[in-house]
């Protein structure tokens, strides 16, 4: 065979090979559809991934700013107690006063120096079996009581790391940590540490810390509270803003997303805070070697050699212990004369269900008197506000209202019988 014939034969064989590999129109269209769907899915996943990363970065940025705010607050309440509030207010000028002018003064910026050093170190621990009241202090009177879901390890929990837990929010916005560092309050943490060493981080003692006249000095991110000091005297308490005080106008932190100030200083206001450790329900359920449960009105597991408790027994004990602790909190508020309370979803971050916590609160403060302390604090307090996170608001309110409805229904049925 000649060379020309050999090349022609090879060319024909390559053409047939390419034709055999070429896809049909139907197959090509199907592959294009698959590729298009894959590209669309990739774009969608990329958008979701970008959104997730953006949210994660925003949270990290917020936490870093919260940590900065917490460190500054700690320096104030554990230091000389002084801070500077920047306020926009209307202050009549000397010319207005001399002319007896009736016109409204223009808004001006003033820097007000506040000193809370005399109110930042009060606190005492209460043993569950004996109330030790320390009255060796002089504080502004308030009848507002706030419940803090306390960390069993350290004052303020992880507030210095920028935590968003309820106690951390209080710690970076108020003088609470100064009270929790007192010798009386430190016994609270020693008891919790000893309990965890012997029995694990589970039920913890019923010990409470009552911190009177805790000073609020900052505005939280979502705070809409407008505190105005009626005793504001620009001649005694403040200096007008000028170029030499420009640095005082800068907020301690700024939200990177909306460029709004975070943790702005406000005029001091006071509240009484009760710190209590909730039952760590998640740790109890996940404990592999839980051999016994506390007896009634106790948080110390009873010594036993029987089989491990059943899940039903565990849940019943968690609920009973939580109700006992929450009742002690209310009892302490009552003893100290607090009449307006700010409570919350106490223990929900530690694995206690929203339904359980809401129903216990309803039983204690809204239901008719009954067994196990039910109704013990009905009509005791003038007002009770539940500071509940937005995602828990609906289930919390539904469970609370349902328990109240059940109590009314039971009362009506008992009357009919």
What is the dihedral angle through the alpha carbons of 354, 359, 361, 366, rounded to the nearest 10 degrees? Answer: 150
Backbone angles phi, psi at 332, to 5 degrees: -65, -45
Query: Tell me, what's the pLDDT at 417?
Result: 54
Ranges of residues in the chain whose predicted pLDDT is under 50: 2-7, 10, 124-138, 230, 305
Domains of the chain: 55-79+119-225+261-352 (3.40.220.10)
Query: Tell me, what's the pLDDT at 37?
Result: 74
b/e per residue 295-323 (b: at least 16 CB within 10 A): eeeebebeeeeeeebeeeebbebbbbbbb
- Looking up tokens 């209460």 gives 126
Q: Which helix (H) or strand (E) holds 144?
A: strand 144-149
Query: Tell me, what's the pLDDT at 108?
Result: 73
Sequential DSSP letters for 305-355:
-SPPPPHHHHHHHHHHHHHHHHHHHHHHHHHTT--EEEEE-TTGGGT--HH
Task: Determine contact, residues 322/358, Cβ cutoff 8 Å.
Answer: no
Go through the chain and tell me how many residues it has: 417
Torsion 304-310-314-316 (CA) sign: negative
Q: Which of 273, 269, 266 is CA-nearest to residue 122?
A: 273
Instruction: Give the residue ranges of DSSP H helices in 78-213.
Output: 94-99, 166-173, 176-180, 183-199
- Looking up tokens 């505190």 gives 227
- For strands 238-240 and 107-115, give the pairing: antiparallel
Q: What is the pTM of this model?
A: 0.77
DSSP 218: E
Query: Tell me, what's the pLDDT at 136?
Result: 39
Task: Determine contact, residues 105/91, Cβ cutoff 8 Å.
Answer: yes
């Amino acid at each position: 065979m000649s060379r020309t014939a050999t090349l022609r034969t090879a060319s024909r064989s390559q053409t047939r090979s390419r034709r055999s590999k070429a896809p049909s129109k139907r197959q090509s269209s199907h592959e294009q559809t698959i590729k298009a769907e894959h590209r669309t899915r990739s774009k969608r996943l990329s958008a979701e991934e970008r959104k997730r990363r953006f949210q994660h970065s925003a949270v990290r940025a917020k936490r870093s700013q919260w940590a900065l705010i917490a460190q500054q607050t700690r320096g104030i309440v554990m230091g000389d107690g002084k801070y500077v509030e920047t306020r926009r207010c209307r202050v009549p000028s000397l010319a207005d006063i001399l002319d007896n002018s009736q016109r409204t003064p223009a808004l001006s910026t003033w820097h007000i120096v506040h000193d809370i050093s005399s109110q930042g170190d009060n606190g005492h621990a209460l043993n569950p079996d004996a109330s030790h009241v320390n009255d060796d202090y002089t504080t502004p009177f308030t009848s507002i009581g706030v419940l803090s879901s306390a960390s069993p390890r350290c004052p303020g929990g992880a507030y210095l790391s920028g935590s968003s837990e309820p106690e951390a929010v209080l710690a970076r916005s108020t003088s609470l940590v100064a009270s929790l560092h007192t010798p009386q309050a430190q016994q609270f943490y020693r008891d919790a540490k000893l309990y965890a060493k012997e029995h694990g981080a589970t039920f913890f003692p019923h010990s409470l810390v009552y911190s009177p006249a805790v000073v609020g000095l900052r505005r939280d991110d979502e705070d809409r509270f407008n505190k105005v000091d009626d005793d504001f005297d620009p001649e005694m308490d403040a200096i007008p803003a000028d170029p030499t005080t420009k640095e005082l106008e800068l907020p301690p932190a700024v939200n990177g997303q909306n460029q709004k100030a975070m943790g702005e200083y406000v005029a001091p206001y006071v509240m009484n805070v009760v710190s209590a450790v909730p039952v760590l329900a998640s740790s109890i359920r996940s404990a592999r070697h839980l051999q016994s449960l506390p007896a009634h009105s106790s948080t110390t597991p009873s010594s036993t050699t029987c089989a491990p408790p059943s899940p039903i027994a565990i849940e019943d004990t968690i609920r009973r212990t939580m109700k006992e602790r929450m009742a002690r909190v209310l009892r302490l508020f009552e003893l100290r004369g607090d009449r307006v309370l700010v409570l919350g979803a106490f223990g929900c971050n530690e694995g206690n269900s929203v339904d359980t916590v809401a129903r216990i609160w309803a039983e204690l403060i809204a239901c008719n008197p009954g067994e196990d302390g039910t109704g013990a604090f009905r009509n005791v307090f003038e007002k009770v506000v539940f500071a509940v996170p937005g995602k828990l608001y609906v289930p919390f309110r539904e469970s609370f209202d349902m328990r109240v409805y059940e109590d009314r229904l039971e009362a009506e049925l008992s009357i009919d019988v």
